Structure 1
Amino acid sequence: MALLDSIKPLGPVPVRINFEGFLDRAAVKAVLDEKTRRSLIKCGLIIMQNARRSIKKMGMAKPKLKEQTTYEGASLQDLLTFGDNMVSKRAKNRIRDRLFEIRFRPPSRPGTPPHTHLNTLRNSITFEYDQKTESVVVGGFMDGIERVVSLHEFGGMQSMSAWAWIPEPGRSYRRGIIGYWAIGRKPRLNPGRWEEMGPQWRKTFNYPARPYMKPAMLKAIKEKEIVRQFKDRIRIGG
């Protein structure tokens, strides 16, 4: 069973975790049948779900606040100007917390699964059964995120371009929203509202490791989910 950063051919891929064990033995491969194939697929599903659930939603990845649906069309900043009879003080504190997450995009603690601020990474995690190798591949499969997967899982350095969020006409913010994307990448969410800033704004960031794929598999092993899928289905004589 392998965890890869991308399902498309990439040549030598630096992001690769191989777990070789009972799933790769010739004796096991010889008895793989349809039930076992379904078991492998189920294992992939379990690991995918573990990985997705471990990534906490932040900022714009979260569902809209109740006040946003009540006063549809009003921005978060607009809601802070409403009277307390319309938006309570407690609700305004929640709005301020949400604005903080959107503007500053606080990261998770090093060594813990990363946060997702736009749902891109979380939604990219899927799995695929490889009939040729009779194995399951689990990971983030989406164009343009290969390096992101590597940075989160193992850590490393990355040069980033700065992008400025352009408010809708007539709206302003007390503090501008600046986002950083790897050089050559563009914002996926509301791309028309982002404008790339000059090269003098580029920065190189040091990303500590925030693994989420390996822990997702180890969790499945610890909880005996993988063993449960293959119980009474594969027997190696002796």
Structure 2
Amino acid sequence: MREVSFIIEKRKFVIPGELLAEGDYNAGSNAFKEGNKVYSSMVGLSNNVGRNVYVVSLKGCYLPRAGDLVIGKVVEMRLGSWNVDINSPYTAILFTSEALDRPFNSRKEDMTQILDVGDLVLAQVISFDRARGPALTIRDSGLGRIVHGNIVKMTPTKIPRLIGRRGSMINMIKREIGCHITIGQNGLILVSGKKPALEALAIKIIRKIEEEAHTSGLTNRITEFIAKEKSGLNDEKSNE
């Protein structure tokens, strides 16, 4: 009798107890095996490497929503589009029609002159469903290839703490530090300023907020922390 063999397609949304594979397969992370069947042990996206079947947990991950501002990295270039890593289980796609305000002529133009593999981009999610993945645009003002600044990574679920109620936290940081800070909802943050020392301080503040996001009284502590750090910078400057 022929042995039954089955494996679920990659990047399919699964729930605990859902069958992932049957036959000669191994259970990887967030999966378990009973007999010759492999099941999911949590909500996530199915995946496999060879015969190792596992689930990418969605807990704490960034799940795209239309309208989100994101920072991503171009990881692949195809005819008429780029694949962009947006720090999510889902790879985003950016079509040339959403990168230019005019038609793209593939016979006469080189896509690498617009964006190349390895480039960082500030983009907006225009649509998303789990079947097709997120689609991006960089046509709006202020969007496009990132040419300067530092990228800081933060747990996406802690981004609201960095923003604060009605933008109170991030606006206070910008006002006190004098740096330009662009927050991607996907947990990537662009920091740029006129002075490296102030950029470094802004990054230090972001790290502190991430570490203490679960605590109360954070705004007051960050205000005091900024005052102390700025005082230290002024002392260093006066001693030069």
TM-score by length of 1: 0.22
Q: Which has the higher strand share?
A: 2
Larger relative contact order (Cα-Cα within 8 Å, sequence gap ≥ 6): 1
TM-score by length of 2: 0.22
